[in-house]
Amino acid sequence: MLRDGDLTEAPITPEERLLLGFVETVTIAAHRVTDAQVQELRDVGWSDAQIAEAVYVAAYFALCTRLADAFDILPPEFMDRNGVPKVLGSPEPFGRVFP
C-alpha cells in the first residue's frame, strides 16, 4: 500500500493519517498549510518538533526527487522487481489518497 501510494487501507493510526495528509499538503502546495492544520496536529499529540521534522523530510525528499528527475536518474531495475509504483503513473501526486 505504501509503495503504491494507496494509504486508504494502510494499517496506520488516525494521528499518522493526519500527519501524512499534512505532509501531502506540504509536498503539493506548501503555501496552503494553515495554522489551523498545524494546530490540529498538535491537538492529536504531535509536538512542534515532530511537525517540523515532517516538513524537513518532505522538503528534502522533494529536493532529491527533483534532482533525480532533472538528471533523469532512475534506480537500477533490480532494486524494484515489481515495476514502477502505481503512484508514479497517477495523474495526481500520491493518487490523491487524502480527502
Three-state secondary structure along the chain?
CCCCCCCCCCCCCHHHHHHHHHHHHHHHHHHHCCHHHHHHHHHCCCCHHHHHHHHHHHHHHHHHHHHHHHCCCCCCHHHCCCCCCHHHHCCCHHHHCCC
Q: What pLDDT score does 65 carry?
A: 86
Average pLDDT in the chain? 82
Task: Delimit the domains of the chain by residue range.
Answer: 14-96
Question: How many residues are recorded in the chain?
Answer: 99
Which is more confidently placed, 95 or 38?
A: 38
Nearest Cα to 23, choosing from 73, 62, 49?
62
Q: For residues 37-44, give the mean pLDDT.
A: 98
Residue 59 pLDDT greater than 70, yes or no: yes
Rounded to whole angstroms, the Cα distance separating 59 from 65 reads: 10
pLDDT at 44: 98
For the chain, percent of residues with pLDDT exceeding 90: 49
Q: Is the pTM of this model over 0.75?
A: no
Domain boundaries 14-96, corresponding CATH code: 1.20.1290.10
